[in-house]
Amino acid sequence: MTPLNKDRYSLALISACFLLSWMQTIQLRADSLKAPPDAMTLWYAQPATEWTEALPIGNGRLGAMVYGGIERAHLQLNEDTLWSGGPHCYDNPDAYGHLTTVRELLERGEYAKAEATA
C-alpha cells in the first residue's frame, strides 16, 4: 500500500467511525423524543422554601442546592476544597496497619480514639 493510499484509507476509516457515532447520537435523540413529555422532567407542586427541600445538583466535586421561587431563586454552592483545605493527596500509606484497631474502637463506640488512631 502506497503512502497516499494509506492516508486515504485512514481518512475513510476515521470518517466512517465519525459517521457511525453521529448516526448513533441521532438515534438516541430520536428515542428520547418518543418518550412521554414528562418522562425526563421534574415537576413540583410548590417551590422549595428551605434548604431541606432543595434540589441537589452537582458532580461530586462542585455542587449546589437549588431552592426558592420564581421571583427569587437561591443557589447554595459547595466545592470540595472548601471543606478539605485545598487539593492534595489524602492517601495514608500506613493506614492499613491501623485498620483493625480503628474497627475495634468503632465497634466499642470509642469514636474519638478511632479518629485519633486513623
Averaged pLDDT, groups of 10, the chain, 118 residues long: 60 55 49 62 82 85 84 83 69 86 93 88
Tell me the DSSP string of 59-95. -SSEEEEEEE-SSSEEEEEEEHHHHHSSS-----TTG
The residue type at 4: L
pTM for this structure? 0.38
Q: What is the reported pLDDT for 115?
A: 86
Per-domain residue ranges of the chain: 1-41, 44-87, 89-117
